[in-house]
Amino acid sequence: MNTRSQGLHHITAIAGDPQRNLAFYAGTLGLRFVKRTVNFDDPGTYHFYFGDRIGHPGTLLTFFPWADARPGRPGAGQATLTSYAIPAGSAGYWENRLGRLGVTGVVRRERFGETTLRLSDPDGLGLELVERTAPRGEAWPGSAVPVAQQITGLAGTTLTLRGTDATADLLVEALGFAEGGSDGGVRRMLSPDGSAVDLLRDPAGPSGTMGAGTVHHVAWRAADGADQLRLRGELLGRALGVTPVVDRQYFQSIYFREPGGSLFEIATDGPGFLTDELEAGLGAELRLPPQYEGNRAAIEAILPPLEVPAA
Ligand code: ZN
């Protein structure tokens, strides 16, 4: 029997200026800033989490922002488009809102029979808002965006690949995806949670390079630690190099590289973002994992101050 993931957990990208990143996602897009912490592998830099009311898996976009980040180049071997679900009929609201807030270059088009808006964040990260009824997040009343138009969660991602077959096989056989047809040369794979991974074949274009405005990794859900270990065994059985389980404070993670070159993670649903602060105060203060609490003063002295946008 195939193991299967429960769908998308989070997507993590690299950004430049932290305040600009925070203003765009918590202000312009109206997401909740659910956690202000540090990169556990580089604690002198921030790690931001944006999501729904309490940061449920499947709603999370996270960033490693630092002011001096060099721009990356989207290309083969990367997740090159991050898609969010918006309610049916809300594209017009979003066109107006983005225009009013100075976001230029927003393009409306139909993909796979769905209305989509293509845009870029301030670092050039490719984003898409897709009218799709696949709600998984919970509305956040504190958002500047009315509940009826709020982003409901991640709709999917696009992987740019030299060839699509090996990645498609992995998605189907190890993670429980199904073929979802093709449109304009893009091959869609459907996740059990209603999100989609689109495979864009680009045999001759440039390889992606990591930097601001590019995705660092895509994370899939495991229900719990046992489910994660079962998936880990499945990946090892496919001769993929997989890390041991790593404690990420808000979930447990394993990492591996899919055959097309993108870094994938499998993360547990728990313990979640209420493990170290109350719901009302999510994102308000810097949270550090236990191994860095002793260095809090030094870490806070390095990190630039932040202002969370008011609703
Ligand atoms: Zn991650």
Average pLDDT, the chain: 95
User: What is the pLDDT averaged over residues 26-33?
Assistant: 98
- The angle formed by the CA atoms of residues 217, 218 and 223, to the nearest 5 degrees, is 130
How many angstroms does the Cα of residue 113 sit away from the middle of ligand 1? 30
The answer to whether residue 154 sits within a structural domain is yes
Q: pLDDT digits over 211-261, tens only? A: 999 999 999 999 899 999 999 999 999 999 999 999 999 999 999 999 999
Give residue 296's domain range.
8-302
* CATH number of the domain residue 207 falls in: 3.10.180.10
As a whole number of angstroms, the distance between CA 27 and CA 311 comes to: 7
How many angstroms does the Cα of residue 217 sit away from the middle of ligand 1? 6
How many angstroms does the Cα of residue 219 sit away from the middle of ligand 1? 6
Residue with the larger pLDDT of the pair 273 and 192: 273
Tokens of 305: 């101050």
Residue 5 binned pLDDT confidence (cut-offs 50, 70, 90): confident
How many angstroms does the Cα of residue 154 sit away from the middle of ligand 1? 14
- 165-175 and 225-237 helices, crossing angle to 10°: 140
The answer to whether residue 311 sits within a structural domain is no
How many angstroms does the Cα of residue 141 sit away from the middle of ligand 1? 26
Three-class secondary structure of residue 122 per DSSP: coil
Our count of domains for the chain comes to 1
Q: pLDDT digits over 150-176, tens only? A: 999 999 999 999 999 999 999 999 999
The answer to whether residue 34 sits within a structural domain is yes
The answer to whether residue 168 sits within a structural domain is yes
The answer to whether residue 3 sits within a structural domain is no
Three-class secondary structure of residue 251 per DSSP: strand
Indicate the Cα dihedral angle 204, 208, 209, 214, nearest 10°.
Answer: 160
Judged by average pLDDT, the poorest of 37-51, 92-106, 122-136 is 122-136
How many angstroms does the Cα of residue 266 sit away from the middle of ligand 1? 8
The answer to whether residue 310 sits within a structural domain is no
How many angstroms does the Cα of residue 184 sit away from the middle of ligand 1? 30
How many angstroms does the Cα of residue 148 sit away from the middle of ligand 1? 29
